[in-house]
Amino acid sequence: MLDDRKLAILRAIVEDYVSTNEPVGSKALAERHALGVSPATVRNDMAVLEEQGYITQPHTSAGRIPTDKGYRLFVDKLSTIKPLSGAERRAIETFLAGAYDLDDVVSRTVRLLAQLTRQVAVVQYPSLIRSSVRHIELVPVAAGRLLLILITDTGRVEQRVVETHGELADDSVAQLRALLNACLDGRSFGEVPLAVADLPARVSAEDRPVAVAVLSVLLETLVERNEEKIVFAGAANLALGDFSKGLRDVLEALEEQVVLMRLLGEAGDPATLTVRIGAENQLQGLTSASVIAAGYGMDGQALARLGVLGPTRMDYPGTMGAVRAVARYVGQILAGS
């Protein structure tokens, strides 16, 4: 275990290196920070920190920079999550509250996170698996065709065309729409198949083929569209980071939805904030990156996750505060939608 003085020195090294992107020397530390000890003592403590793997010397006669282990200790033991200012909180709330549907919420969220943190922002759509039915609409669009619109409690909208192979009277469409909503309103997606099992028998024999066609498309939608959808923004911010050697690998990873899903991790407690630093990201090409992610959701249940990816040299307290705040606001917006 490190004593308080060495922890203070490590904190100072991390903060100075993040701020300046220059290796930090003992003389500079003693001058910039009120450590209460001489440069010689700082130098001795830095030698201990280096021996224990918390800092390293990138070049001979240079200062020291934090290692992944040093950043981890900083995050776990030293840093506090930096609260956003009142102006920042109001700006976030106003910007996100202007969204008119789920796609707009996600689009605004990913752009906002990238701007706040100056990192790559990643946002996962709420999974259909965790959703419930809010409303189903059937709209005739052409002879022998209906548009099936499925709206979830999280604001997600799925649309599919149903081939009915024949004309369908307006009152028949209205009856089928009413039956579907009566059966499914508030049902979780896992409950849908059983809930609609006897629905064809509740319509006239003449309309039964159409009901079967609609149910077939609805069930296919639940199965086929359960894949996680992820968007990202702020890739240009990578040029400002420390990816001179691994930028190509990071860009390739961002193009893979599966990789992004694994980066964000599983949606658990919305209050949980996770930080993975450097080699803790066991995905090829991302061992020089850090990922900060949080769940967002409603009623204490996470529906999905969002976060940022950047170099290990990042402002952890500020970035953690921004990710946590944005996740909380997104959850509030979905709860009120």
At 21-36, the pLDDT tens digits run 899 998 888 888 888 8
Tell me the whole-structure pTM to 2 decimals: 0.77
Per residue in 115-168, pLDDT (tens digit) is: 999 999 999 888 766 678 889 999 988 888 899 999 888 777 888 899 887 777
One domain for residues 9 and 40: yes
Q: How many domains is the chain built from? A: 3
One domain for residues 233 and 331: yes
* Cβ neighbour number for residue 111 with a 10 Å cutoff: 16
Domain CATH for 24: 1.10.10.10
Measured CA distances, 247 to 114, 149, 253, 306, 311 (Å) = 17, 41, 10, 22, 10
Contact 219, 183 (CB under 8 A): no
One domain for residues 278 and 135: no
One domain for residues 38 and 111: no
One domain for residues 120 and 267: yes
How far apart CA 129 and CA 103 sit, in angstroms, is 18
Instruction: Give the residue numbers spanning the domain of 277.
Output: 86-125+228-336
One domain for residues 120 and 234: yes
Buried b (16+ CB within 10 A) or exposed e, 127-139: bbebbbbbebebe
- Quote the DSSP letter at residue 70: H
One domain for residues 238 and 319: yes
Domain CATH for 160: 3.30.390.60
* Cβ neighbour number for residue 97 with a 10 Å cutoff: 13
How far apart CA 71 and CA 165 sit, in angstroms, is 63
One domain for residues 164 and 299: no
Two tokens at 197? 């099992």
One domain for residues 70 and 218: no
One domain for residues 187 and 306: no
Domain CATH for 281: 3.30.450.40
One domain for residues 330 and 232: yes
Q: Which tops the pLDDT comparison, 313 or 142?
A: 313
Among 315, 250, 332, 300, which Cα is nearest to 74's?
Answer: 315
**Cα-atom radius of gyration of the chain, to the nearest Å?**
26
Average pLDDT over residues 296-309: 82
How far apart CA 305 and CA 273 sit, in angstroms, is 10
